[in-house]
Amino acid sequence: MIKKLGCSIILAFGFIVLAGHNTFGGIRGPEHRTLRPLAMGNAFVALVDDKDALHYNPAGLNLMGSLGNKKRRPEMGYYPSDYVDMHMNFLGAGIPFGTAMNLLNIYQDHETALQGGLEGLQDDTTLVSDLVVFDREPILFALLTGGELAFHNFGMSYWGDVRVAPFLDVGVVLPQAGLELIQVDVCGEIGISRSFFRDRLAIGVEYRMAVREQIKNVQIGVGDIAEINTIIQDTIDNHAKGLTDFGRIGHGMDIGFLWQQTRSIRLGGAIQNLFMTLNHQKVTPKLTLGVACSPRVLQNNFRWKRKINFALDVEDVLNDENGYKFLSKVNMGAEWEQVLIPYILKGRLSVGAKGGYLTAGLGGNLFTVLHYEFATWAEEGGYYTGQKEDRYYVMNFGIGF
């Protein structure tokens, strides 16, 4: 009876969301790029067993203080426990290393010309040909920061995500430079959850407030280099005038569920940015459904704690931009988290595939308090699925427990 009722609730959730598909439409909403999920292909909506539930599925807050707790949930006591999860991520930086190294080599080869002003550039006969490969090609950089506090059935977080895409324009006569995009997202979240049917079903609800600022298509010619500070400052001042328009602030909801099918298999789904309008534009809600498998035989909650997970998601179901095909929305991944030295060092290794692009990552903590994360993943940067890979390499350091 309980299984049938749980399945009915899950099906009803999907039907209600999909039935409203035609009413949605608009821009992409704020999305926190959290490194643990991204390292395993961003397949996380049914896993959500730590603070990252705030960014993927608030129903996962119910797992905090439940997994690994033999008194509260004896059948799940073999899972590594997370009673309280609090982290402060000072700064994460995403750099396209391959592109950056190529640009550095070009700079070193033409350093004299680049420092010689207009005359030096005109006398360098090979600079333009070397730069052609980067012509009008945005080079993506990212800065991430944030903090989370999560425990059983409650969590709150803030985060900031800065994306900068400078480009070079080889030009007919002289090279130019510019910015295709500067986008700054700042977001605050607070969520709660509750379990039903003897902990088989968990429902979570979250309130999300977001602010987004964008600067697009700023181009600077060689002759304007001396005035670059003035140009950038004028651009920022023009955008700052709109900061007092409080109607630009986005307010939305996230709703999610988890269904514990067996002790090792969990189904999950969430819709994010529901009812949100950002900068006076509607935001397309993000619907994701998935399944996670954590084989009991592979888990260890004793001194040498071990966590091994596998997951599969269908992400962003309602978004059909870039001619997305179904398989490009399928994410999958696996992770192995292991205590390497009890009470001193814990490590994590992850691999996966996000929308057909490979992902990987490392993470862990030292003395429980200092934590580190590295992840690489790719997003579609073209006009259709599979046209262009925009790959990120991000490293993050912070403190927490």
CA angle, 314 as apex, 54 and 260 as ends, to 5°?
60
Residue with more model confidence, 343 or 134: 343
- pLDDT computed for residue 382 by the predictor: 67
- pLDDT computed for residue 199 by the predictor: 92
Confidence of residue 20 (pLDDT cuts 50, 70, 90): very low
Strand, coil or helix: 256: strand
Tokens of 20: 């409203």
- At 266-295, the pLDDT tens digits run 999 999 999 999 988 899 899 999 999 999
Residue with more model confidence, 223 or 136: 136
Strand, coil or helix: 78: coil
**Would the pLDDT of 371 be above 50?**
yes
Which residue, 258, 246, 261, is CA-closest to 211?
246
Model pTM score: 0.83
Q: Can you tell me the mean pLDDT for 42-58?
A: 96
Q: Can you tell me the mean pLDDT for 163-179?
A: 69
Q: Can you tell me the mean pLDDT for 362-378?
A: 91
Confidence of residue 306 (pLDDT cuts 50, 70, 90): very high
Q: What percent of the chain has pLDDT over 70?
A: 75
Residue with more model confidence, 50 or 386: 50
For residue 232, give Cα distances in angstroms to 225, 238, 279, 296. 11, 10, 22, 56
Confidence of residue 368 (pLDDT cuts 50, 70, 90): confident
Q: What percent of the chain has pLDDT over 90?
A: 43
* Structural domain boundaries in the chain: 25-96+139-400
Average pLDDT, the chain: 82
Confidence of residue 88 (pLDDT cuts 50, 70, 90): confident
Q: Can you tell me the mean pLDDT for 105-121?
A: 70
- pLDDT computed for residue 53 by the predictor: 96
Question: What is the DSSP annotation of 157-194?
Answer: EEEEEEEEEEEEE--SSS-EEEEEEEEEEEEEEEEEEE
Q: Can you tell me the mean pLDDT for 103-127?
A: 70
- Give the CA diameter of the chain: 82
Question: What is the DSSP annotation of 271-328?
Answer: EEEET-EETTEEBPPEEEEEEEE--GGG-B-SSS-EEEEEEEEE--TT--GGG--GGG
- pLDDT computed for residue 22 by the predictor: 44
Exposure string for 287-304, b = 16+ CB within 10 A, e = fewer: bbbbbbbbeeeebbbeee
**Would the pLDDT of 5 be above 70?**
no
**Would the pLDDT of 332 be above 90?**
yes
Which residue, 140, 128, 143, 130, is CA-closest to 99?
140
**Would the pLDDT of 10 be above 60?**
no
- pLDDT computed for residue 55 by the predictor: 95
Taking residue 244's Cβ as centre, other Cβ atoms within 10 Å add up to: 7
- At 198-236, the pLDDT tens digits run 999 999 999 999 999 887 776 665 555 445 555 555 555
Instruction: Please say whether the dihedral angle defined by the alpha carbons of residues 42, 66, 252 and 265, taken in this order, is positive or negative.
Output: positive
- pLDDT computed for residue 391 by the predictor: 81
- pLDDT computed for residue 120 by the predictor: 63
Determine the straight-line distance between the first and last CA of the chain, rounded to whole angstroms.
40
Q: Can you tell me the mean pLDDT for 295-316?
A: 94
CATH architecture assignment, domain 25-96+139-400: Beta Barrel (2.40)
Alpha-carbon span 265 to 263, nearest angstrom: 6
Instruction: Decide: 204 and 225 in contact? Cβ < 8 Å.
Output: no
Q: Which region among 114-118, 143-147, 372-376 has the lowest average model confidence (pLDDT)? A: 114-118
- pLDDT computed for residue 401 by the predictor: 75
Alpha-carbon span 126 to 124, nearest angstrom: 6
**Would the pLDDT of 144 be above 60?**
yes
Q: Which region among 22-31, 142-151, 289-298 has the lowest average model confidence (pLDDT)? A: 22-31
**Would the pLDDT of 392 be above 70?**
yes
Confidence of residue 165 (pLDDT cuts 50, 70, 90): confident
